[in-house]
């Protein structure tokens, strides 16, 4: 069997003014992509001939620059032979925004079909936060995704998509998946698959997948709310071997369930206004409290350059604080020109998003060096400043300090700080494992947790929570 593999991923956010560029992608071409995907053992076990294309994965961000996306998409598609292949496996995010194009995932799949036609199966693995377009199900034969949020089933998902591709090839079938939508938007941080009401929905999907003969995949996608498009929000994609009607019914059943339980979705972490979050953290009995600056969450595509929390913490006279990341290229450059141990006064913040606050910090430069990226690559230079009441990490590029190994990459031990401010929503599992307490602050920004603050123009209506009682 000759199998094509490829992956382009960037979770989009259409509210942020920043753009995602080619340089922002962790990028590997040809056989170099083998170590980036988790299906290689499976393919080798099955003695497949592998046709690698490209792997490109960027930190969530604003729309990808059109030419940069087209360059990546063209590179992937050019590497696919026109004939002599048995199947195509793609690992996408499902919520990629591209300048002037909209859904990058849909556009890429269209390009793939233009190249190979419709007689060869295409199987796609995606993120749980995929905002799928209607067209996705006409372009792919199998669609699956993560079933955990926070995500910890990357490998299983990739393998499931690969197994489904093999099934298509062995059984000589070309399934037509079906999609249904729920007009219920639940912000990422109120959606965790291990807790109700989503837990019940995930179990319902699993039951249907397991018990209906010929069922290949019943996939729930929560979507993510920061894309102002009619296809934003929860979507359910069901792949049945042959019966489109069964698949459609099944998808609709789950979509109605979302509507039924819409009032049960609540923030599953402590979530309060910023000043209250700071007060709670200062007075907490716990040795350490993580504060999420949720409106400037780089893992949801925000700029990561807002000094809002620094200003609020200063005002509240908080002590022993670690600001785990603020992006400011000019401030970082100034640090690189200085010697370790020097005291510097820097203006930080507001360099990427004009709505972000700025601030001035004075502190001793204690570290300079590259910081690990969200995808495990290199996110570029960073500098750490020890100020009177807070230690601040300034990065040249946007970064996401979402795992302990990212702190370690810049020799930063966060264990001694009373308050650790991160530009995240809920904590990533690796960070949460050591967190004594985590509080999400409803800070402003392009990853705001409140749909009413997003001022969406293109999303479909009615849509809960903007509208209610419409079904």
Give least dist CB 186 to Zn ion, A.
Answer: 13
Residue 148 CB neighbour total at 10 angstroms: 16
Pick 192 or 358: Cβ nearer Zn ion: 192
Pick 127 or 229: Cβ nearer Zn ion: 127
Residue from 36, 57, 129, 423 binding Zn ion (CB under 5 A) = 129
Give least dist CB 304 to Zn ion, A.
Answer: 17
Is 296 a binding residue for Zn ion by CB under 5 A? The answer is no
Pick 223 or 274: Cβ nearer Zn ion: 223
Residue closest to Zn ion, measured at CB: 129
Pick 225 or 363: Cβ nearer Zn ion: 225
Of 332, 350, 323, 329, which Cα lies nearest the Cα of 423? 323
Give least dist CB 61 to Zn ion, A.
Answer: 14
Give least dist CB 400 to Zn ion, A.
Answer: 12
Query: Is 330 in contact with 375 (CB distance < 8 Å)?
Result: no
Phi, psi of 140 (to 5 degrees): -110, 150
Query: Is 253 in contact with 187 (CB distance < 8 Å)?
Result: no
Of 115, 122, 105, 7, which Cα lies nearest the Cα of 56? 7
Three-state DSSP class for residue 271: strand
Query: Is 360 in contact with 350 (CB distance < 8 Å)?
Result: no
Pick 24 or 127: Cβ nearer Zn ion: 127
Give alpha helix (H) positions in 274-402: 274-282, 308-315, 329-337
Give least dist CB 471 to Zn ion, A.
Answer: 27
Pick 133 or 382: Cβ nearer Zn ion: 133
Pick 129 or 396: Cβ nearer Zn ion: 129
How many angstroms separate the CA atoms of 191 and 307, rounded? 27
Pick 26 or 127: Cβ nearer Zn ion: 127
Is 189 a binding residue for Zn ion by CB under 5 A? The answer is no
The residue whose two tokens read 């820097």 is 346
How many angstroms separate the CA atoms of 190 and 199, rounded? 12
| Segment interacting with Zn ion (CB under 5 A) among 44-52, 127-135, 229-237, 329-337 | 127-135
Task: Please report, as residue ranges, which positions from 380 to 409 form the binding site for Zn ion (by CB under 5 A).
Answer: none
Is 127 a binding residue for Zn ion by CB under 5 A? The answer is yes
| Segment interacting with Zn ion (CB under 5 A) among 47-55, 109-117, 128-136, 432-440 | 128-136
Max CA pair span of the chain: 69
Instruction: Give the per-residue contact string, 209-248, with Zn ion (x = CB under 5 A; - = no).
Output: ----------------------------------------
How many angstroms separate the CA atoms of 238 and 180, rounded? 9
Pick 59 or 348: Cβ nearer Zn ion: 59
| Segment interacting with Zn ion (CB under 5 A) among 105-113, 125-133, 427-435, 452-460 | 125-133
How many angstroms separate the CA atoms of 421 and 162, rounded? 39
Give least dist CB 33 to Zn ion, A.
Answer: 21
How many angstroms separate the CA atoms of 7 and 58, rounded? 11
The angle that helices 274-282 and 308-315 make with each other, rounded to 10 degrees, is: 50
Give least dist CB 104 to Zn ion, A.
Answer: 16
Pick 86 or 127: Cβ nearer Zn ion: 127
Residue-wise DSSP of 58-124:
E-SBSPBPHHHHHHHHHHHHHTS-SSS--EEEEEE-S--EETTTEEHHHHHHHHHHHHH-SSS-EEE
Give least dist CB 85 to Zn ion, A.
Answer: 29
Number of chain positions touching Zn ion (CB under 5 A): 2
Give least dist CB 158 to Zn ion, A.
Answer: 14
Query: Is 2 in contact with 51 (CB distance < 8 Å)?
Result: yes
Pick 26 or 357: Cβ nearer Zn ion: 26
Q: What is the dihedral of CA 108, 112, 115, 120, to 10 degrees?
A: -170
Pick 129 or 147: Cβ nearer Zn ion: 129
Give least dist CB 24 to Zn ion, A.
Answer: 17
Give least dist CB 54 to Zn ion, A.
Answer: 21
Give least dist CB 129 to Zn ion, A.
Answer: 4
| Segment interacting with Zn ion (CB under 5 A) among 129-137, 242-250, 325-333, 397-405 | 129-137
How many angstroms separate the CA atoms of 108 and 228, rounded? 20
| Segment interacting with Zn ion (CB under 5 A) among 65-73, 122-130, 191-199, 366-374 | 122-130
The angle that helices 198-211 and 244-260 make with each other, rounded to 10 degrees, is: 160
Q: What is the binding site for Zn ion (CB under 5 A)?
A: 127, 129
């Amino acid at each position: 069997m000759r199998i094509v593999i490829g992956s382009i991923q960037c979770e989009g956010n259409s509210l942020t003014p920043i753009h995602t560029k080619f340089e922002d992608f962790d990028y590997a071409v040809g056989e170099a992509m083998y170590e980036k995907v988790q299906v290689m053992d499976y393919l080798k076990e099955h003695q497949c001939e592998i046709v690698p294309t490209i792997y490109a994965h960027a930190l969530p961000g604003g729309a990808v620059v059109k030419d940069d996306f087209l360059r990546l998409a063209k590179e992937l598609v050019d590497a696919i032979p026109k004939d002599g292949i048995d199947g195509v496996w793609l690992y996408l995010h499902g919520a990629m925004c591209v300048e002037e194009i909209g859904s990058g995932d849909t556009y890429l799949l269209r390009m793939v079909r233009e190249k190979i036609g419709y007689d060869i199966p295409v199987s796609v693995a995606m993120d749980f936060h995929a905002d799928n377009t209607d067209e996705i199900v006409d372009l792919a034969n199998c669609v699956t995704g993560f079933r955990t949020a926070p995500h910890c089933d990357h490998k299983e998902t990739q393998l499931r998509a690969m197994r489904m591709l093999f099934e298509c090839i062995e059984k000589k079938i070309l399934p037509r998946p079906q999609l249904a939508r729920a007009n219920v938007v639940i912000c990422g941080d109120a959606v965790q698959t291990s807790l109700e009401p989503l837990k019940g929905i995930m179990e319902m999907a699993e039951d249907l997948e397991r018990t209906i003969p010929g069922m290949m995949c019943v996939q729930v996608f929560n979507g993510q709310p920061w894309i102002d498009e009619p296809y934003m929000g929860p979507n359910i994609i069901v792949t049945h071997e042959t019966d489109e009607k069964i698949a459609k019914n099944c998808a609709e059943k789950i979509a109605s369930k979302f509507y039924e339980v819409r009032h049960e979705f609540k923030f599953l972490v402590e979530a309060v206004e910023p000043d209250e979050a700071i007060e709670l953290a200062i007075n907490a009995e716990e040795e350490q409290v993580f504060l999420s600056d949720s409106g400037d969450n780089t893992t949801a595509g925000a700029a990561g350059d807002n000094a809002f929390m620094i200003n609020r913490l200063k005002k509240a006279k908080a002590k022993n604080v670690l600001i785990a990341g603020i992006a400011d290229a000019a401030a970082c450059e100034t640090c690189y020109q200085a010697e370790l141990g020097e005291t510097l006064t820097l203006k930080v913040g507001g360099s990427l998003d004009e709505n972000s606050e700025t601030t001035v910090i004075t502190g001793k430069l204690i570290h300079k060096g590259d910081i690990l990226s969200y995808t495990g690559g290199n996110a570029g230079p960073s500098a750490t400043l020890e100020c009177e009441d807070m230690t601040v990490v300034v990065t040249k590029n946007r970064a996401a300090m979402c795992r302990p190994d990212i702190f370690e990459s810049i020799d930063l031990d966060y264990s001694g700080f009373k308050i650790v401010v991160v530009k995240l929503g809920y904590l990533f599992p690796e960070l949460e494992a050591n967190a004594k307490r985590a509080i999400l602050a409803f800070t402003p920004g392009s990853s705001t947790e409140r749909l009413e603050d997003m001022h969406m123009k293109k999303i479909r209506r009615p849509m809960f929570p903007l509208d209610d009682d419409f079904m």
